[in-house]
Amino acid sequence: MTLANNTLPEIRRGKLKSLLREGKTVRVLEAHNGLSGIVANDAKVEGILEDAKVAREFDAIWESSLTDSASKGHPDIEVVSFDSRLHTIQEILAVTSKPLIVDGDTGGDANNFEYMVSKLERAGVSAVIIEDKVFPKRNSLEAGTQQTLADPDVFAQKIKRGKNVLSTEDFMIIARLESLIAGKGLEDALARAKTYLLAGVDGIMIHSKSKNPEEILQFAQSYRHLLRELDLDKPLVCVPTTYNTITEEELSAAGFRIIIYANHLLRAAYKSMIEVSKTLLLNQRSFEADPLCASVREIFKAVGFLDIKEKDQQDEQLANIPVIIPAAGEDPILKPLLNGKPKAMMEIAGTTLLQRQISTLNQANLTDITVVAGYAHDQMKAESVAILNNADYKNGSMLHSIFTAREKMNNGFLMLYSDILLENHIITQLMDCKEDIVLVADNTIQYQRAEEGKVLDFIISKNKRPPSRRRISVVYDNILAKIGNKINPETATHEFIGLGKFSKTGAEQFIQTYKDCVQNYKGKFQEADDIARFTFTDLIQEMIDRGFVINFLEIHQGWLEIHREEDIALANKFL
């Protein structure tokens, strides 16, 4: 169901009368379920036709007894109950915003009709058209069908009863004349029109199954005189199914104010269904049938599924996505300064490295934080975070620490190395990224050589751009081609800073690839000497090799990694 056409009964109900009041000839298309309702409601043609700009759409929707019954596999003989018809009507109302005109068949007897009118008006329907035949009626279009007309006075009384139960001025009751269908001629139709108009009906529909519009045009002419005689202005309705060469413009000029295309969407769907089913049988596969079908995506779009996908993604961005900080390893370089504490517990300007990360994350409303400790785990302390222990930290890599927090990954997560300090805006920018997997990558190495001997996680971007200080902003897809610390720094375009975001889908892909690697590989793997110690970047490279798209968010500075004593001095100076 699409919410795009959402409206209220009281807003929609009066729209048909408004269109008529504006003097418009109302163009109406049939619908028989929610999907065809969306088609009728949203169909549009726009462009240049014979040097003039045109923009056309349908003004209203016809809920047809023929197509509602046929779509349920039933003949159009009032065998589909009103309750079932009302169900279809509600289905169409729920996904459309244009006025709905309901085919009320005979309306049943006057008592039945009162209930029909009150339910339709309450639902937001704009008009009901009832035909002056005896229940159970037969469809009007098949030649040779027995048609029994109602007593005009009994029918007029039904109209009066219907009018009396209305609660608003918005709803219209239109009488449909079946005299031409039953072979009773123009005079009978006109006499009945007069009776129904005097009973207070809001409009008249003249029906015909002739291939030629002559008889309805004659009726239209006489009807004009009749309205003049009665000093009334009540719209005339036609259903040009059989007399289909006459144009809307000609019908409008003849005095018709509502023109109903009464069954075309159902007939189109039925023809396509037959053709597609035969094509499948002939070819014993679906390839040949595909061009005859709408794409699945087109259907998704029509019924609002793509909107849902987008909203889910937005919600995901707003959500308090879990953060995993792998902090298990013992740091061989800074060991002499740490006095047996984990590196995350190192104080920088009076606050621990970890506490600084936590407050940066909290400022971006990220409060679901899990720290994975290992070395000196009993000394890992921080407020309002969960601390897990990777007891086997000596034998694995940081990747294993990340997977120690496996239960936090299911709905997407953020991964942050434990030894970097960040400016807040980097997290905010990352949270705004919509892609499934986004790593944060710094482009400083394009301007400044990496320091000799420093082990960095280098990236090669798929779309290499020439380094330049001044750059016109051109939209490139920031996609990774390579990642790893053994990449030649000369060929690298970026440095991975140790921060990444995984959507729910991205997390699924990450977890599945990890599982597969652990189960099915032995020995050397990507840059790792042994799969037992493969790293985060090895897994990302494996995903790239398997065809997953890994995006990156490009930044320029605004972060600091604490790898050496000089870094601590620098951080102390800044903070």
Distance from C-alpha of 511 to C-alpha of 277, rounded to nearest angstrom: 41
Minimum CB separation of residue 31 from ligand SPV in Å reads: 11
121 binds, among Mg ion, ligand SPV, none (CB under 5 to 8 A by kind): none
Q: Closest distance between ligand SPV and the C-beta of residue 544, in Å?
A: 58
Indicate the angle between helix axes 214-230 and 185-198, nearest 10 degrees: 40
CB nearer to Mg ion: pick between 29 and 373: 29
Near Mg ion in 311-340, by CB under 5 A: none
Beta bridge partners of 61: 29, 100
Of 65, 88, 357, 503, which one interacts with Mg ion (CB under 5 A)? 65
Question: Which listed option, Mg ion, ligand SPV, none, makes contact with residue 263 (CB within 5 to 8 Å by class)?
Answer: ligand SPV
Please state, in angstroms and as integers, the Cα–Cα distance from residue 160 to each residue in 28, 121, 125, 531, 537, following that order. Answer: 26, 16, 19, 85, 79
Question: Helix, strand or coil for residue 528?
Answer: strand
CB nearer ligand SPV, residue 140 or residue 418: 140
**How many angstroms from the chain centroid is the CA of residue 94?**
16
Give residue for tokens 């002559």.
214
| Contacting positions for ligand SPV (CB under 6 A) | 64-66, 76, 103, 139-141, 239, 241, 262-263
Active-site residue (options: 59, 76, 170, 538): 76
Q: Give the distance from CA 370 to its chain's centroid.
A: 34
Residue whose CB is less far from Mg ion, 65 or 370? 65
Catalytic residue at 368?
A: no
Nearer to ligand SPV, 2 or 263 (CB): 263
Partner touching 241 among ligand SPV, Mg ion, none, CB below 5 to 8 Å by kind:
ligand SPV
Find the shortest distance in angstroms from Cβ 52 to ligand SPV: 32
397 binds, among ligand SPV, Mg ion, none (CB under 5 to 8 A by kind): none
Q: Are 228 and 209 in contact (CB under 8 A)?
A: no
Residue 181: CB partners within 8 Å, gap ≥ 6? 140, 147, 207, 208, 209
- Closest to ligand SPV by CB, 70 vs 382, is 70
Asked whether the bond before 136 is cis by omega within 30 degrees of 0, the reply is yes
CB of 76 to ligand SPV, least distance (A): 6
Tokens representing residue 135 in the block: 């229940």
Query: Least Å distance between CB 64 and Mg ion?
Result: 6
For the bound state, the minimum distance from the C-beta of residue 76 to Mg ion, rounded and expressed in Å, comes to 6
In angstroms, rounded to a whole number, what is the distance separating the alpha carbons of residues 86 and 150?
A: 24
DSSP 467-525: --SS--------BEEEEETTS-TTT--EEEEEEEEE-HHHHHHHHHHHHHHHHH--S-B
Q: Please identify which residue in 78, 103, 178, 215 interacts with Mg ion, judged by CB under 5 A.
A: 103
Min CB(66)–Mg ion separation in Å: 5
Q: Measured from the CB atom, is 75 or 185 closer to Mg ion?
A: 75
Do 419 and 531 touch, CB atoms closer than 8 A?
no
140 binds, among Mg ion, ligand SPV, none (CB under 5 to 8 A by kind): ligand SPV
Distance CA 444, CA 422 (A): 15
- Residues 102, 96: Cα–Cα separation, whole Å: 14
Q: Which of Mg ion, ligand SPV, none binds 91 (CB below 5-8 Å, type-dependent)? A: none
The nearer residue to Mg ion, 66 or 175, going by C-beta atoms, is 66
Structure tokens at 471: 């750059």
Segment interacting with Mg ion (CB under 5 A) among 62-70, 328-336, 435-443, 528-536: 62-70
Query: Alpha helices of 339-447 — where are they, by DSSP H?
Result: 353-363, 398-404, 424-432
The binder of 262, among Mg ion, ligand SPV, none, by C-beta within 5 to 8 A per type, is ligand SPV
Is residue 178 within the footprint of Mg ion (CB under 5 A)?
no
Binding positions for Mg ion, rule: CB under 5 A: 65-66, 103
Q: Could you give the residue numbers annotated as active site?
A: 76
